[in-house]
Amino acid sequence: VFRLSFATPVEWVARVETDPLALLSDHAHCELKAAASAQALIVKNPSRTALVSRMAEIAREEIEHFALVAKLLTARGGALVADTPNPYTESLLGRSHYGRVCADDARDEMLLDRLLVSSLIEARSLERFHLLATHLADRELAEFYRALIPAESMHQALFRELALECYPAERVARRLETITALEGDIVSKLPFAVRMHSGLAPVEVVRPLVPR
Ligand SMILES: [Fe+2]
Ligand SMILES: [Fe+2]
């Protein structure tokens, strides 16, 4: 059974619940980016037939999720707000092999990391959906998240299965261990924001230099 290396404290739910519309807007952008990322994998790996058909399915599902989230947001009187850089995914991609400037012979390594990073992002979303479904006081929103759990659970497993179809099991296991630890390290240090992939770390106060 796959496990994340850092468990989100339950208090995260109470903090994001202060602004459900902001959470939904951020979540909608996550779904949209998941669909775009699945399409980008197709563009970069056109000859990997299994990957192409699965990514086409994922892209379709993520766009459906986007539509569901955006619809709920509108029904609640909100609207999508402009997306802002996401420190979670940026650190994860930047600190894995995917973020390196790669020569052609390293493309292979990039794909392995890309698949495993995607699996981790899906697994973290799954953890957050579980927390929201269980602990939100807003029961309508809680049920909304409960309904999204099965798809997210399939997605996080599917990216790992694809990695295993493309690479030797031992290599996948080794990289998965590293990226799982990396993801936990990143999340545990992220400051709080009303976002699907935020953390709860205290914001470091930088003291201004006082001239003597
Ligand atoms: Fe989704
Ligand atoms: Fe997903």
User: How high is the pLDDT of residue 102?
Assistant: 47
Question: How far apart (Å, rounded) are the C-alpha atoms in residues 125 and 127?
Answer: 5
**If you measure from the C-alpha of residue 31 to the centroid of ligand 1, how many angstroms do you get, rounded to a whole number?**
5
pTM for the structure as a whole: 0.92
125: buried, middle or exposed (CB in 10 Å: 19+, 13-18, 0-12)? Answer: buried
User: How high is the pLDDT of residue 60?
Assistant: 98
Q: Evaluate if residue 134 carries a pLDDT over 80.
A: yes
**If you measure from the C-alpha of residue 150 to the centroid of ligand 1, how many angstroms do you get, rounded to a whole number?**
10
Q: Which of helix, strand or coil describes residue 101?
A: coil
151-156-160 Cα angle (round to 5):
140
User: How high is the pLDDT of residue 109?
Assistant: 74
Ligand nearest to the CA of 68: 1
User: How high is the pLDDT of residue 198?
Assistant: 97
Q: Evaluate if residue 22 carries a pLDDT over 90.
A: yes
Strand partners, 201: 191
In the chain, what percentage of residues exceed pLDDT 70? 92
- Average pLDDT for residues 90-102, to the nearest whole number? 77
User: How high is the pLDDT of residue 110?
Assistant: 87
**If you measure from the C-alpha of residue 212 to the centroid of ligand 2, how many angstroms do you get, rounded to a whole number?**
54
Ligand nearest to the CA of 152: 2
- Average pLDDT for residues 20-42, to the nearest whole number? 97
Q: Evaluate if residue 205 carries a pLDDT over 70.
A: no
- Radius of gyration (C-alpha) of the chain in whole angstroms: 18
- Average pLDDT for residues 11-17, to the nearest whole number? 97
Question: How high does pLDDT run on average in the chain?
Answer: 92
Tokens of 96: 């894995």
pLDDT band at 106 (very low <50, low <70, confident <90, very high): low
H-helix segments, the chain: 11-16, 20-44, 49-75, 87-95, 107-135, 139-166, 169-189
Q: How far is CA 206 from CA 94, 125, 203, 210, in A?
A: 25, 31, 9, 12
Ligand nearest to the CA of 62: 1
Ligand nearest to the CA of 65: 1
Q: Among 109, 98, 105, 111, which Cα is nearest to 45's?
A: 111
- Average pLDDT for residues 29-33, to the nearest whole number? 97
- Are the C-beta atoms of residues 152 and 128 closer than 8 Å to each other? no
Q: Evaluate if residue 66 carries a pLDDT over 90.
A: yes
Q: Evaluate if residue 99 carries a pLDDT over 70.
A: no
pLDDT band at 126 (very low <50, low <70, confident <90, very high): very high
Sign of CA dihedral 73, 77, 83, 88: negative
Q: Evaluate if residue 113 carries a pLDDT over 50.
A: yes
Ligand nearest to the CA of 158: 2
In the chain, what percentage of residues exceed pLDDT 90? 85
Q: Evaluate if residue 43 carries a pLDDT over 90.
A: yes
